[in-house]
């Protein structure tokens, strides 16, 4: 076994024996899982409750009917998305949802309800869905009308009603969908519609805009209808006019196409670029610490009496690349396990994302940029280690170096998601230290061959130059401790 | 045959000349002392021998070859500034250095175990270096230098930092190696060690050779001194350069401190006393110590007072 491999194995084992390696290895997936879990746990359940007290007895049914209509539209929309995702084509009467998600019209909703509504749709799904498909879970309703909760006074006028609502609004109230926040109390007086008589609304903190708008629209519509009736308008004609809806056709691109497609195709390469950056920062700093420890422990002379500085340099690089690859492999493994453990994610995200790297050339290019990026940046860390006597010394070089690397990365990632062929990602693709990140992030959405080859060759030339310069700095600096190293000296050693 | 030959070797660092036109040879076998003050150029020379540094000019031959890592197992090296991988165990460390020098895994393990037992480290074989005392860690480093059973062992200030017990252990190791036919070169600025161990010496000052030869030849560089108790003034005896009278010893006898002329031997003075009837009650010879020789040859640059290292 040659000396370089021995050094690489020792370096790999030393880094893997550190606590920080294992903490970092598990920290990323644990952090992602925790953030997802906490987001789900802390996020309030969808839907809010609304209490409607209608002394007139004429308006509450109108409001409840509109809430029910919106609820049906919401369920139909989700059913449409479900049918599209699992390629289900229902054939029963009222199966309007089989044509994908769109803006469902009142007649379509009426047909859906007439055919048995959600229960009939669920039966149809059970009959047609493929084995791999998950069950359809209807979304929670946005607005849930409820009877006045205990303690809320509904029969003693608006002031008493409003005063008694306040305590109920401080906590969740019981609804058919479970405990929910009471967002709105509506009081409609018996003589609502008479001049100067207003419906009263009480909101829990900031008003729920869509709910308040719904109430306002329906009450206004009802009052307009009464006014038209009072003015002698033909009610049959009025009803026909009221039923007119502007013919709007809303189409949504299916998942994995359009802008969403572009983002999905960029997501995986961009994630790889981010993992490259993350693992580089970690493994680079471990390697740096190791080299500084070797310098401060005065053991380099013993090592250099056995092997050449170049063997030591290449061995360290090989060791740290191996560490990085293990980290990336582990993280990707965690991600795949997580993706397959969450039903629907594979179909929704992973499949279109993986489609971006389906071409063998893209896989080769990704692998090249990943490894080349690792080498190029690791050598910068190694150079810092070779000229630093302590971590404090190293910090003077590291801080600007990390800033120079990470800040443009954020700009690259943002730009790539907006437009992978935008000027910033294209310029960065030609700057060797950013080329791995920019090209990896862009590869998913397609990059011209001349750019891939040209940028790749530039990166290779940069790495070759780094090898030559670092080798010189390494040889001339390793055994020189306690010297303040200015840029002039550094350049002189690199040129020596 | 010489195991090491330097011819006109010079090494400069950023305008500072650490080694200046140095030429010498070390014959195979025996213990060779490489003496000089701190900063005299010893470590720089040894680094060039090990190909850690390249000379600015001049040529070196080590075991008949130009310096390099080929046949690295034939050379063992214990650096002045010692350190080990703190997280590695004792046995791993010795094996690692053996393997870096080209040993096969099984051979490296066997040699490492043997050395670890020899140095009394067997109970600590699986212990991490960071858990060892300084003395034990230094033994591990020595074992790492010896694991390949080298023909040429280079020790740079090997006694620095060792307690007296470990110093004597190291001296025994050096003497044992000499018995097996190995050549030991060790650098030091502590002359007592050189006096006890070295067959031949090289003394450098400010990067230049100032002396090479045996201990006797080194001592001959300084005039011999005598202590006499005599009735008459000994300054007229042949070979006496200077005679200083000391205290009166009673009954007309006086103690004298004699400095001989360079090249004159105490034996010839005694012979002259006997042949001329010069009355003596005491005749003691004083050999110059290496320390005195060092001070004399290094031109006042005492051990440990060299120039700063580059």
Per residue of chain A (496 residues), give pLDDT as tens: 588 999 999 999 988 888 888 888 888 778 777 776 776 676 667 789 999 999 998 899 999 999 999 998 888 888 888 888 788 888 877 778 887 777 788 888 888 888 888 888 888 888 888 887 878 888 888 999 999 998 888 888 889 998 998 888 888 899 988 888 899 999 999 888 888 888 999 998 888 889 999 999 999 988 888 888 888 888 788 777 777 767 666 665 555 455 555 555 666 777 777 877 888 888 888 888 888 888 776 788 888 888 888 888 889 889 988 988 888 888 888 877 776 666 555 555 555 556 556 677 888 888 898 889 888 988 888 888 888 878 888 888 888 888 888 888 888 888 887 777 888 888 989 999 899 888 888 887 778 889 999 999 999 999 999 988 888 887 777 666 545 555 566 666 666 6
Coil, helix or strand for A93?
coil
By the 8 A CB rule, do B32 and B25 touch?
no
By the 8 A CB rule, do A98 and A88 touch?
yes
- Map tokens 């320390």 to a residue: B291
A53 shares a domain with A25? no
A379-402 as b/e: b if 16+ CB within 10 A: bbbbbbbbbbbeeebbeebbeebb
A156 shares a domain with A25? no
Sequence-ordered strand ranges (E) for B95-176: 152-156
A273 shares a domain with A180? no
Best mutation target among A306, A478, A489 (most B Cβ atoms within 10 Å) is A306
| Containing structural domain, residue A308 | 2-29+259-495
A452 shares a domain with A336? yes
Question: Has residue A248 been placed in a domain?
Answer: no
DSSP codes of every residue in A241-295: HHT---------PPTTSHHHHHHHHHHHHHHHHHHHHHHHHHHHHHHHHHHHHHH
Both structure tokens of A494: 């690199």
Residue A428 CB coordination number (10 Å): 24
CA distance B72 to chain A (A): 6
A157 shares a domain with A71? yes
CB contact under 8 A, A302 and B77: yes
Final residue in a domain of this structure, among A211, A230, A249: A230
C-alpha–C-alpha distance, residues A181 and A178, integer Å: 10
Residue A273 CB coordination number (10 Å): 27
A484 shares a domain with A355? yes
CB contact under 8 A, A302 and B50: no
By the 8 A CB rule, do A22 and A120 touch?
no
C-alpha–C-alpha distance, residues B166 and B169, integer Å: 5
Using CA atoms of A229, A234, A239, A243 in order, give the dihedral in degrees to the nearest 10: -110
C-alpha distances out from residue A64 to A54, A60, A77, A308, Å? 12, 6, 20, 83
Both structure tokens of B229: 């108790």
CA distance A399 to chain B (A): 27
By the 8 A CB rule, do B229 and B256 touch?
yes
By the 8 A CB rule, do A277 and A401 touch?
no
Model ipTM over 0.90: no
CB contact under 8 A, A305 and B77: yes
**DSSP letter, residue B214:** E
- For A10, the closest of B72, B81, B96 (CB atoms) is B96
Question: Has residue A203 been placed in a domain?
Answer: yes
A434 shares a domain with A303? yes
Best mutation target among B66, B81, B84, B140 (most A Cβ atoms within 10 Å) is B81
CA distance A313 to chain B (A): 14
Final residue in a domain of this structure, among A230, A249, A279: A230
A468 shares a domain with A333? yes
- For A304, the closest of B52, B88, B145 (CB atoms) is B52
From chain B, pick out residues whose CB is under 8 angstroms from the CB of A308: 51, 69
Which residues touch B280 (CB under 8 Å, ≥6 apart)?
B228, B229, B230, B273
A312 shares a domain with A198? no
From chain B, pick out residues whose CB is under 8 angstroms from the CB of A299: 82-85
Question: Has residue A105 been placed in a domain?
Answer: yes
- For A3, the closest of B50, B85, B100 (CB atoms) is B100
Let me know how long chain A is: 496
Question: Has residue A44 been placed in a domain?
Answer: no
A155 shares a domain with A80? yes
Question: Has residue A363 been placed in a domain?
Answer: yes
Question: Has residue A297 been placed in a domain?
Answer: yes
Q: Which domains does chain B have, with CATH numbers?
A: 2-219 (3.40.50.300), 225-287 (3.30.70)
Report how many domains make up chain A. 2
Find the radius of gyration of the CA atoms of chain B.
24
**DSSP letter, residue A139:** P
From chain A, pick out residues whose CB is under 8 angstroms from the CB of B100: 3, 6-7, 303, 306-307
CB contact under 8 A, B83 and A299: yes
Which residues touch A204 (CB under 8 Å, ≥6 apart)?
A169, A181, A182, A183, A184
Number of H helices, E strands in chain B: 9, 13
A303 shares a domain with A203? no
Which residues touch A482 (CB under 8 Å, ≥6 apart)?
A389
Which residues touch A395 (CB under 8 Å, ≥6 apart)?
none
Question: Has residue A243 been placed in a domain?
Answer: no
C-alpha–C-alpha distance, residues A319 and A12, integer Å: 5
- For A301, the closest of B51, B72, B79 (CB atoms) is B79
C-alpha–C-alpha distance, residues B240 and B246, integer Å: 16
Both structure tokens of A177: 């969908």
Specify the pTM. Answer: 0.69
Q: Which residue of B has its CA nearest to A296?
A: B83
Question: Has residue A355 been placed in a domain?
Answer: yes
By the 8 A CB rule, do A474 and A382 touch?
yes
- Map tokens 């479900």 to a residue: A82
- For B97, the closest of A294, A296, A302 (CB atoms) is A302
What are the residues of chain A with a beta carbon less than 8 Å away from any beta carbon of chain B? Answer: 1, 3, 6-7, 10, 14, 17, 293-294, 296-308, 479-480
Best mutation target among A1, A286, A305 (most B Cβ atoms within 10 Å) is A305
A478 shares a domain with A358? yes
Identify the burial level of B216 via C-beta atoms within 10 angstroms of its C-beta, where 0-12 means exposed, 13-18 middle and 19 or more buried.
exposed
């Amino acid at each position: 076994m040659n000396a370089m491999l021995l050094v690489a194995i020792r370096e790999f084992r030393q880094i893997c024996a550190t606590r920080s390696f294992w903490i970092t290895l598990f920290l990323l997936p644990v952090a992602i899982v925790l953030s997802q879990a906490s987001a789900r746990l802390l996020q309030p359940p969808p839907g809010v409750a609304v209490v409607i007290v209608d002394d007139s007895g004429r308006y509450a049914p109108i409001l409840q009917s509109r809430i029910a209509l919106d609820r049906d539209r919401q369920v139909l929309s989700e059913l449409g998305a479900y049918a599209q995702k699992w390629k289900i084509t229902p054939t029963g009467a009222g199966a309007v949802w089989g044509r994908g998600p769109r803006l469902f019209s009142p007649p379509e909703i009426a047909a859906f309800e007439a055919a048995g509504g959600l229960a009939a749709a669920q039966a149809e799904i059970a009959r047609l869905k493929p084995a791999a498909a998950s069950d359809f879970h209807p979304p929670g309703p946005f607005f849930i009308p409820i009877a006045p909760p205990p303690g809320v006074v509904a029969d003693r006028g608006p002031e008493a009603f409003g005063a008694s609502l306040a305590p109920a609004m401080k906590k969740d109230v019981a609804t058919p969908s479970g405990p929910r926040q009471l967002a709105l109390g509506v009081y409609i007086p018996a003589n609502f519609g008479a001049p100067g008589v207003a419906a009263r609304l009480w909101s829990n903190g900031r008003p729920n805009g869509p709910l308040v708008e719904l109430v306002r629209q329906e009450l206004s519509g009802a009052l307009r209808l009464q006014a038209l009736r009072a003015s002698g308008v033909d009610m049959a004609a009025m009803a026909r006019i009221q039923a007119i809806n502007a013919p709007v056709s809303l189409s949504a691109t299916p998942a994995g196409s359009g802008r969403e497609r572009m983002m999905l195709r960029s997501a995986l390469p961009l994630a790889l670029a981010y993992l490259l950056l993350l693992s580089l920062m970690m493994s680079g700093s471990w390697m740096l610490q190791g080299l500084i420890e070797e310098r401060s422990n005065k053991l380099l002379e013993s090592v250099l009496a056995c092997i050449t500085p170049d063997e030591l340099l290449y061995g360290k690089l090989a060791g740290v690349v191996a560490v990085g690859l293990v980290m990336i492999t582990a993280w990707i493994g965690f991600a795949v396990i997580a993706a397959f453990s969450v039903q629907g994610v594979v179909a929704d995200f992973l499949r279109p994302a993986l489609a971006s790297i389906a071409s063998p050339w893209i896989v080769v290019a990704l692998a090249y940029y990943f490894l080349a990026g690792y080498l190029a940046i690791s050598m910068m860390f190694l150079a810092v280690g070779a000229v630093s006597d302590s971590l404090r010394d190293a910090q003077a070089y590291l801080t600007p170096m990390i800033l120079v690397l990470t800040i443009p990365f954020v700009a690259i990632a943002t730009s790539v998601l907006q437009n992978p062929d935008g000027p910033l990602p294209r310029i960065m693709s030609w700057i060797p230290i950013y080329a791995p990140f920019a090209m990896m992030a862009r590869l998913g959405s397609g990059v011209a061959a001349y750019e891939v080859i040209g940028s790749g060759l530039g990166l290779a030339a940069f790495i070759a130059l780094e090898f030559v310069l670092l080798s010189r700095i390494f040889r001339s600096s390793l055994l020189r401790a306690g010297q303040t190293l200015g840029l002039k000296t550094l350049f002189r050693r690199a040129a020596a | 045959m010489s195991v090491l030959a330097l011819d006109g070797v010079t090494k400069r660092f950023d305008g500072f000349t650490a080694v200046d036109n140095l030429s010498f040879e070390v014959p195979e076998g025996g213990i060779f002392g490489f003496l000089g003050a701190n900063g005299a150029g010893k470590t720089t020379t040894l680094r060039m021998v090990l190909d850690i540094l390249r000379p600015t000019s001049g040529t070196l031959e080590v075991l008949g070859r130009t310096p390099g890592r080929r046949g690295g197992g034939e050379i063992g090296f214990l650096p002045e500034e010692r350190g080990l991988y703190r997280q590695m165990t004792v046995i791993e460390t010795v094996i690692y250095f053996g393997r870096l020098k080209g040993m096969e895994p099984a051979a490296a393990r066997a040699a490492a175990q043997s050395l670890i037992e020899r140095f009394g480290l067997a109970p600590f074989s699986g212990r991490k270096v960071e858990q060892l005392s300084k003395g034990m860690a230094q033994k591990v480093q020595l074992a790492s230098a010896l694991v390949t059973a080298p023909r040429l062992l280079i020790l740079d200030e090997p006694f620095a930092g060792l307690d007296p017990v470990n110093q004597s252990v190291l001296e025994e190791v050096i003497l044992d190696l000499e018995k097996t036919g190995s050549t030991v070169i060790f650098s030091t600025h502590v002359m007592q060690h050189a006096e006890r161990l070295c067959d031949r010496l090289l003394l450098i000052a400010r990067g230049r050779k100032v002396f090479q030869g045996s201990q006797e030849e080194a001592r001959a560089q300084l005039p011999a001194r005598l202590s006499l108790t005599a009735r008459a003034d000994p300054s007229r005896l042949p070979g006496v350069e200077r005679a200083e009278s000391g205290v009166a010893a009673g009954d007309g006898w006086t103690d004298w401190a004699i400095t001989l002329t360079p090249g004159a031997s105490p034996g010839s003075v005694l012979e002259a006393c006997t042949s001329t009837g010069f009355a003596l009650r005491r005749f003691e010879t004083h050999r110059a110590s290496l320390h005195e020789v060092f001070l004399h040859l290094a031109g006042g640059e005492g051990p440990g007072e060299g120039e700063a290292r580059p």
